[in-house]
Amino acid sequence: MSRFVLSSPYFFRPLKRTLLGALALLLLLAAVFPAPLEVAADRANPPNPAKSAWFLLGIQELVSWGTPAIYIVVALGSLLVVLPWFPLPPLEHAGWFQPAQRWVTLWVLLISFGLIALTAMGLFFRGPDWRLVLPF
């Protein structure tokens, strides 16, 4: 007997219901609460530091270390793009953190935690002139 579960209908139907529910909730929240936007940009008096959106702060932080640091982003992004085509041994059963794929899991977790750390550093620990400051 196979230890795998069919994706349809046991996975995709609840996933579709969850997606539609989350979309409805998001539309309702967007209609009720205004977006927390900052004041309109003023070219004569730009903010210091001028930070990108939160999802780009990790890359902005990395590039602030020096222009060649962008090659790290390109290399890690390329690694994540080709990850599905890496040859891996077949799995005996479905599950999280399989021993046969431990190195893939480790790389993905390291990249994810690194991006989270860079984003937090750019968001909370950067002050005027992009100097390191304490967040409190």
Q: Residues 77-100: pLDDT tens digits? A: 898 898 888 887 777 777 788 888
Cα(6)–Cα(4) distance, rounded to whole angstroms? 7
pTM given for the model: 0.63
Q: Residues 29-50: pLDDT tens digits? A: 999 998 877 778 788 888 888 8
Q: Where are the alpha helices (DSSP H) in the chain?
A: 12-32, 57-64, 70-82, 102-124
